Chains A and B, each alone.
Chain A
Amino acid sequence: RKEVEQDPGPFNVPEGATVAFNCTYSNSASQSFFWYRQDCRKEPKLLMSVYSSGNEDGRFTAQLNRASQYISLLIRDSKLSDSATYLCVVNPSGGYNKLIFGAGTRLAVHP
Chain B
Amino acid sequence: DTAVSQTPKYLVTQMGNDKSIKCEQNLGHDTMYWYKQDSKKFLKIMFSYNNKELIINETVPNRFSPKSPDKAHLNLHINSLELGDSAVYFCASRPGTLDTIYFGEGSWLTVV
Contacts and interface: CB of A to CB of B under 8 A. Distances in A.
Given A98-B33, A101-B43, A49 B100 contact: yes
Interface string A83-111: 00101010100111111110110000000
A46 to B, nearest CB: 5
Interface residues on B, range: 20 to 34
Interface residues on A, range: 20 to 34
Contacts of B50: 96
A41 to B, nearest CB: 8
Contacts of B98: 31-32, 91, 94
Interface string A25-38: 00000011010001
A45 B33 CA distance: 15
10 contacts: A31-B98, A34-B100, A38-B41, A43-B90, A44-B43, A87-B43, A96-B48, A98-B56, A98-B58, A99-B101
Interface of B: 31, 33, 35, 40-45, 48, 50, 55-56, 58, 90, 97-98, 100-106
A-B pairs, top 8 by smallest CB distance, nearest first, are: A43-B103, A101-B43, A98-B45, A46-B100, A32-B98, A96-B55, A103-B42, A96-B50
